[in-house]
Structure 1
């Protein structure tokens, strides 16, 4: 079953719910899902992450394997 079909099936089941406590719990789940960890970061943190992503896209990074080789004496 694809995502759209699952959503439609969920909506059909949601319409049948008569217990308000169940609806409240579902609302909490949906609200919690909308709060992304990225949204809680400061602007400077978001900018630093974007810089890192831009560098990675340009190939300006060191692989994990190379870092582990370089620092193996401490590992």
Structure 2
């Protein structure tokens, strides 16, 4: 699917429409749509977050103090 072509096609249909209800429905759909921050991440970032959650679930954690000591910050 060519997303740019699809967007242009949808925009053209909206521009050519005189259906007020269609425009209201589209406006409502756009304004009410919740976008999850996770979906805005790259696949690599999503994988990193998922790995971090798996580590937490498995108890593979350490405190802030342990992290500072481990990486030489005092």
Please report the TM-score for the alignment, with normalisation by the length of structure 1. Answer: 0.47
Please report the TM-score for the alignment, with normalisation by the length of structure 2. Answer: 0.47
